[in-house]
Amino acid sequence: MHKLLLNRDIYTEFVQSELPNARRFLWIVTADIKDLYVSIDGRFQPLLEVLSDLVENGVAVRLIHAKEPGPRFREEFDRFDALINSDSFERILCPRVHTKAIVIDGLRAFVGSANLTGAGLGSKHEDKRNFEAGFMFDDQKDINELMHWIDTLYLGEHCINCRRRDHCADPIIDQI
């Protein structure tokens, strides 16, 4: 499967339909991060609640983002103990990240233009959303390559030669 998703279809066909079904792991990479809401089973809830529920059900969640989230996101985040205290939730900051990608269980993925925001991936009204495009796919070769690349970010392999370290508030690798 290789499917182009445009605008709200990213939300309805991937975020709403696929993301809550993660069973082993969920990796999210985004530049911008804000509080966003999703409708799951007819109930609007913060995506952070969905992530917390996944973590509580044994799903390992990895979130990589480029900048500090806004105050509403941070307030919402602090409500979910599983996101603060569970070893199954990992979050790192890298100011060079501009990628927008989601990998679910190593079986399905999305890569596109949408950030982890209401206007990008959330349930915003059709007339208030950003214009976004991306691909949902299940090709194992492409997913493996994407996962390897995300792992290099997560492990800080790019920190060694990074020339933007002076802009990094929380280096992944402390000593170089």
Per residue in 114-166, pLDDT (tens digit) is 999 988 998 888 888 999 999 999 999 999 999 999 999 998 888 888 777 77
Cα→Cα distances 144→39, 87, 162, Å: 30, 24, 24
* Domain 2-167 in this protein, CATH class: alpha beta
Strand partners, 4: 135
pLDDT band at 64 (very low <50, low <70, confident <90, very high): very high
Strand partners, 5: 134
28-52 residue pLDDT tens: 999 999 989 999 888 899 999 999 9
Give the pLDDT confidence score for residue 176 in this predicted structure.
52
Mean pLDDT of the chain: 92
Strand partners, 101: 29, 111
Q: Which amino acid is at 98?
A: H
Give the pLDDT confidence score for residue 32 in this predicted structure.
94
Cα→Cα distances 176→110, 162, 163, 168, Å: 33, 10, 12, 14
Domain ranges of the chain: 2-167
Beta-carbon contacts of 82 under 8 Å, excluding residues fewer than 6 positions away, are: 52, 55, 56, 88, 89
**Residue 63 phi, psi dihedral angles, 5° rounding:** -125, 120
The alpha carbon torsion through 117, 137, 106, 78 (nearest 10 deg) reads: 10
CA distance 166 to 169: 8
**Residue 11 phi, psi dihedral angles, 5° rounding:** -70, -50
